[in-house]
Amino acid sequence: MQDNGIGMAPRDVGRALEPFEQVDGSLVRRYPGAGLGLTLVKRLVELHGGALSFETASGVGTVVRAHLPAARIIAHSVPATEMAAITIAVPAR
Is 3 a residue whose pLDDT tops 70?
no
Q: What pLDDT score was predicted for residue 47?
A: 92
61, 28, 36, 89 alpha-carbon torsion, rounded to 10°: -30
All structural domains of the chain: 2-86 (3.30.565.10)
pTM given for the model:
0.64
Q: Residue 19 has what pLDDT?
A: 83
Residues facing 61 on adjacent strands: 57
Is the pLDDT score of 90 beyond 50? no
Residue 25 CA to residue 15 CA, distance in Å, equals 10
Question: Do the beta carbons of residue 44 and residue 59 sit within 8 Å?
Answer: no
pLDDT, tens only, 30-88? 666 666 788 898 999 999 999 999 988 888 888 889 888 888 767 655 555 555 555 55
Q: 24-31: long-range contacts (C-beta < 8 A, 24 or more apart)?
A: 30/6, 31/5, 31/6
